[in-house]
Chains A and B, each alone.
Chain A
Amino acid sequence: MKKLVFLFLIVLMVIPAGISLAQDKTEVRVWIAFSDYRLDWTKERAAEFNELYPDYEVIIEGFESYNIAFTETALAAEQGNPPAVTHFFEAATQEALDAVGPNGEPLFKSVAEAIGDRTEINGVPVVLDDVVSAAADYYTANGEFYSMPWNTSSTIMFSNMNILEAAGVEAIPETWGELEAACEKIMALEDGPDNCMTWPNHSWWLEQTLAQQGADLSNNGNGREGRSTEVFMNSPEAIAYAQWWKDMNDKGYYIYTGVVRDWGGTQNAFESQQVAFLQFSSSDATLIPANVQDVFPAVVSRMPYNEAAGYHGNIIGGATLWLNNGLNEETETGALMFLNWFSNPKNAAEWHQLTGYIPITNTAYNNLVEAGWFEEVPGAAVANMQLDLIPTTGALIGNFVAIRDTFTDAMEEILINGMDVEAALNEANEKANELLEEYNLLYAPE
């Protein structure tokens, strides 16, 4: 018995020694705002990286949303223990740029600046210069490429080809007018669906349609030439879009699922053949056609645009990996190694094939073309192609998460309570500008 106790004590003493041995590795904590199979994939990659570069220990932690990952980062920084990398979404880019830590220094550091003119870091080739231009342009602010793009998507449309064929719709609609005409035919079907199309009530659609119509969402060139100080949520282009949306809803062509930012409900509506068209994120460009392949052929195409305004390009959505400021040199090196390795051609291609997010580097894209992937899965190429048509960048606006919500709220007032489009958008615009003014009071340099 005594021996056992002795042994136990020895084990107790050895464990901390083992832990301290493990600590000789440089820890690189990476906070990811996913909690599903995408987090699992990231963890697998981290394990692979740790095996390849045994001096570093990348530790992945999942969070349920971008906002929570960001809040936790800010709090951790306040306690002096921030992670090395935080995953944050495109709409909050301005907020990430403006965020400061407890010492008043910026919370994040430009990845391009941290890499400098290195082409490889400890044997890991730098891929930042290879990032596709749509993503690189979006995340470049004040002439500086700030964060490492990762999951990047655009809006696309899925069509149920069985229904289109039955209704005699020959070509997949590319404009609002063509879509309306197709819906007229589909609604005339005797055993057709109750409604023709759906998409989530998400402000991303407003931002996409403004880009398509060539209108800015905020002043100073969408906040690209200087800080946004005014939002144009009631611009003629915004009104045109909301009005068209309302008309489609009133005719019964569009069906609203009743919940804001409803990805699940709209996807279910399409997959259960309750609608013929679904506008969605390209993040599921491979997943949705695969889900329904035994029931009906689903074809991916570009997001329809307003033919009256011409076509001026679409924007990206998604998120990037931000490098925290004030890391020690070893941790920063490890973080940069991981960021570049994580989006190397092989990983970037695999990530695209798994999810439908665009291949984030040109090399990854070319390799996929050569391997014949896009012939095998034609829908997978749509988002890349759409983003390459006409390069545009989305708006950089402070307090954008709250400002976006004013649009979705207005859209609900229009669709559910039948509020007048112009009145609803004027009200939303007023609230949005108040929110922006408050933001700039707190963040803009004095």
Chain B
Amino acid sequence: MTFYSNMLPVFIVTVVAGALYIASIFQRFKRPVIYGVGIGAVAGLVGPMIFMAPLDSCTFETGREPIDYWFGIVLFVLGAALLLGAARWVARFWLSGRAIASLVEDQTTMGVYKASPLIPVLLLLPTIIILTFFLYYPLIDTFRLSTLLVKLGAPRTVFRCVTNFTDFFEPGGFDYTALALVLGLVIAFLAYQPLKEAGGSELRAVFIYVSAIVIAFMLLNRIIEPDYREVLFNTFFIASAIVILGLIFGLAIAYLAYQPVRGAFIYRTLLIWPYAISPAIAGIIFFVMFDPVSGVINHIIELLGGEGLDWIRDPWMARAAIIITSVWKTLGYNILFYIAGLQTVPGDLLEAAEIDGANAWQRFRNIIVPALSPITFFLIVTNLTYAFFNIFGTIDFLTKGGPAGATSVSIYEIVELGIRHKDLGRAAAQSIVLFLMVIGVTVFQFRTSGRRVTYGA
């Protein structure tokens, strides 16, 4: 790893901060602070190399753009933070003298192999080999590719440092609104926990979360390059619409189909049908139907005396078309799980509620919906995965990301860049961003709604 002189101040900051941080933990456990200082300083020194060594400190090179420099600082600090986090974890476990098992904080008992500790490893080996070749190796290679200008079939590659990532940013310059937004964001996050502990209503917590998201969104709006901003917006807008509408309609239809009516079996089977159709075929079917010039939907609207709509020609109508197609496509899956879930709703509870005078809506709202929460939680995760990744086929055959980029979501951009344009470097950088976003959303999911899931009656 090359060392540039302008890295020195940052190193000093991470080393001192690391030393102070770990020392404070040692102090809390009343152990010799000097050890804490030593461990923290080493972690602060080595941590930044997690990112800087593979990049060969290129962001600190003279001649790089300022944005590259600042991006490098963020990576630098992030590396230090990662190692310090790990050091903190180990230190707390070591200092508190607890067993390793207690770190894995849950009550479930772990299974134990009595024969030999090698057996579980052997049993896992086939899986690990497959994962290594088909998951971990491509994952690591994606990180390598994301630093290059690289095309399949080209005689050489060019190292681009972090340009593939910093291309996503286009700072609008410093201004006080941005600063206010950052402060608002920090305050919102800091206020969340105390408010909740002080007995603040759930609603208030939700309000704070939502405002934090809005503020973060507005802030990102200021620094992200306009084209990529639209991609991000499309990704989140289309994904949330698919999940929310898909679950609402899925539950509503499942609830209707669950009623004891004649031939329910046939209705249920027919309702699940769209699930068996591939996203690409769904795209083709709806392309023919939504065609603004010669499509059947506009033809019917005109027959009924209305004015044909600008399906897929208008940016918002195109987004709507993608959402309608995807909701239709996932509906069968959601209905399937909700019908299964409805069968597990305890009948005695419903009966008791009915005797107590709860009307149909109250029974639905207060008994059925909570009883279905594990299913809903599972469906949110699977629907999000669909909306983030599997939606490619639908978009490719319905709108090709248009008009004017209105339906270009992250996965569509990645395939366009990587396969059509063979621009593997940029595609790799975008897939890393998508990867981080999906991880972020999933963690957020587990931390918010995951807590409210009840598995017992």
Query: Which residues from 399 to 447 on chain B have a C-beta closer than 8 Å to any C-beta of chain A?
Result: 399-405, 416, 419-423
Verify if B262 is at the interface (C-beta below 8 Å from A). no
CA gap between A402 and B315 in the complex, in Å: 22
Query: Which residues from 68 to 100 on chain A have a C-beta closer than 8 Å to any C-beta of chain B?
Result: 68, 70-71, 74-75, 95, 98-100
Interface of A is mostly: helix
Decide: B154 and A100 in contact? CB cutoff 8 A: yes
| Nearest 8 pairs of A and B residues by beta carbon | A258-B313, A402-B421, A99-B153, A258-B312, A272-B294, A442-B154, A269-B293, A412-B404
Binds B, one of A34-42, A127-135, A259-267: A259-267
Q: A75-B152, A412-B403 are in contact. List 8 more A-B contacts (CB 8 A).
A: A260-B400, A264-B287, A405-B421, A439-B151, A441-B149, A442-B150, A442-B155, A442-B158
Verify if B392 is at the interface (C-beta below 8 Å from A). no
CA gap between A401 and B157 in the complex, in Å: 19
Verify if A347 is at the interface (C-beta below 8 Å from B). no
Known A-B contacts A71-B152, A258-B312, A402-B423; A413 and B404 likewise in contact (beta carbons under 8 Å): yes
Q: Provide a sorted-by-A list of 11 A–B residue pairs whose CB atoms are within 8 angstroms.
A: A68-B419, A256-B403, A257-B291, A258-B313, A258-B314, A259-B402, A265-B287, A265-B293, A401-B421, A412-B403, A415-B403
Nearest A-chain residue to B156, judged by Cβ: A442
CA gap between A203 and B155 in the complex, in Å: 27
Q: Mark B14-46, 1 if CB is under 8 A from A, else 0.
A: 000000000000000000000000000000000
In the complex, which of the residues B149, B153, B401 has the most CB atoms of chain A within 10 Å of its own CB atom? B153
Verify if A293 is at the interface (C-beta below 8 Å from B). no
B158 partner, pick from A104, A262, A417, A441, beta carbons under 8 A:
A441
Verify if A309 is at the interface (C-beta below 8 Å from B). no
Query: Which residues from 18 to 37 on chain A have a C-beta closer than 8 Å to any C-beta of chain B?
Result: none
Q: How far is the CB of B292 from chain A (nearest CB, A)?
A: 6
Known A-B contacts A104-B155, A258-B403; A416 and B421 likewise in contact (beta carbons under 8 Å): no
Query: Which residues from 282 to 328 on chain B have a C-beta closer than 8 Å to any C-beta of chain A?
Result: 287-288, 291-294, 310-315, 318
Q: How far is the CB of B67 from chain A (nearest CB, A)?
A: 17
Residue numbers in B under 8 Å from A405 (CB-CB): 416, 420-421
Decide: A258 and B399 in contact? CB cutoff 8 A: yes
A258 partner, pick from B151, B294, B318, beta carbons under 8 A:
B318
CA gap between A259 and B321 in the complex, in Å: 13
Residue numbers in B under 8 Å from A415 (CB-CB): 403
Q: How far is the CB of A431 from chain B (nearest CB, A)?
A: 10
Nearest A-chain residue to B399, judged by Cβ: A259
Decide: B420 and A257 in contact? CB cutoff 8 A: no
Verify if A366 is at the interface (C-beta below 8 Å from B). no
Residue numbers in B under 8 Å from A261 (CB-CB): 400
Decide: B420 and A401 in contact? CB cutoff 8 A: yes
Decide: B152 and A74 in contact? CB cutoff 8 A: yes
Nearest A-chain residue to B152, judged by Cβ: A74
Decide: A409 and B420 in contact? CB cutoff 8 A: no
Q: Which residues of A contact B (CB under 8 A)?
A: 67-68, 70-71, 74-75, 95, 98-100, 104, 107, 195, 198, 255-262, 264-265, 268-269, 271-272, 274-275, 399, 401-402, 405, 409, 412-413, 415-417, 435, 438-439, 441-443
Residue numbers in B under 8 Å from A441 (CB-CB): 149, 158
CA gap between A74 and B155 in the complex, in Å: 12
Q: How far is the CB of A337 from chain B (nearest CB, A)?
A: 27
Q: How many A-B residue pairs have CB under 8 A?
A: 112
CA gap between A71 and B415 in the complex, in Å: 13
Decide: A399 and B421 in contact? CB cutoff 8 A: yes
Nearest A-chain residue to B401, judged by Cβ: A260
Known A-B contacts A265-B293, A405-B421; A416 and B153 likewise in contact (beta carbons under 8 Å): no
CA gap between A255 and B298 in the complex, in Å: 15
- The number of residues on chain B lying at the interface, defined by a beta carbon within 8 Å of a beta carbon of chain A, is 37
Q: How far is the CB of B423 from chain A (nearest CB, A)?
A: 7
Residue numbers in B under 8 Å from A256 (CB-CB): 313, 403
Known A-B contacts A258-B313, A442-B149; A416 and B403 likewise in contact (beta carbons under 8 Å): yes
Q: How far is the CB of A439 from chain B (nearest CB, A)?
A: 8
Residue numbers in A under 8 Å from B416 (CB-CB): 405
CA gap between A438 and B287 in the complex, in Å: 35
Q: How far is the CB of A71 from chain B (nearest CB, A)?
A: 6
CA gap between A401 and B400 in the complex, in Å: 15
Residue numbers in A under 8 Å from B310 (CB-CB): 258
CA gap between A257 and B404 in the complex, in Å: 12
Q: Mark B107-151, 1 if CB is under 8 A from A, else 0.
A: 000000000000000000000000000000000000000000111
Decide: B419 and A269 in contact? CB cutoff 8 A: no
Nearest B-chain residue to A411, judged by Cβ: B404
Decide: A409 and B293 in contact? CB cutoff 8 A: no
Decide: B154 and A443 in contact? CB cutoff 8 A: yes
CA gap between A258 and B406 in the complex, in Å: 11
Decide: B420 and A416 in contact? CB cutoff 8 A: no
Query: Which residues from 267 to 288 on chain B have a C-beta closer than 8 Å to any C-beta of chain A?
Result: 287-288
Decide: B421 and A268 in contact? CB cutoff 8 A: no
A438 partner, pick from B149, B312, B403, beta carbons under 8 A:
B149
Decide: A412 and B313 in contact? CB cutoff 8 A: no
Residue numbers in B under 8 Å from A443 (CB-CB): 154-155
Residue numbers in A under 8 Å from B313 (CB-CB): 256-258, 416
Decide: B404 and A409 in contact? CB cutoff 8 A: yes
Known A-B contacts A258-B313, A268-B293, A269-B293; A74 and B421 likewise in contact (beta carbons under 8 Å): no
Known A-B contacts A269-B294, A442-B157; A417 and B152 likewise in contact (beta carbons under 8 Å): no
Q: How far is the CB of B164 from chain A (nearest CB, A)?
A: 11
B293 partner, pick from A75, A257, A401, beta carbons under 8 A:
A257
B422 partner, pick from A71, A264, A268, A417, beta carbons under 8 A:
A71
Nearest A-chain residue to B317, judged by Cβ: A258
CA gap between A273 and B314 in the complex, in Å: 22
Residue numbers in A under 8 Å from B419 (CB-CB): 67-68, 71
Q: How far is the CB of A405 from chain B (nearest CB, A)?
A: 7
Residue numbers in A under 8 Å from B151 (CB-CB): 439, 442
CA gap between A256 and B399 in the complex, in Å: 13
Decide: B311 and A67 in contact? CB cutoff 8 A: no
Q: How far is the CB of A31 from chain B (nearest CB, A)?
A: 15
Q: Mark B70-89, 1 if CB is under 8 A from A, else 0.
A: 00000000000000000000
Decide: A274 and B294 in contact? CB cutoff 8 A: yes
Decide: B404 and A417 in contact? CB cutoff 8 A: yes
Decide: B291 and A268 in contact? CB cutoff 8 A: yes
Q: How far is the CB of B425 from chain A (nearest CB, A)?
A: 9
CA gap between A109 and B419 in the complex, in Å: 24
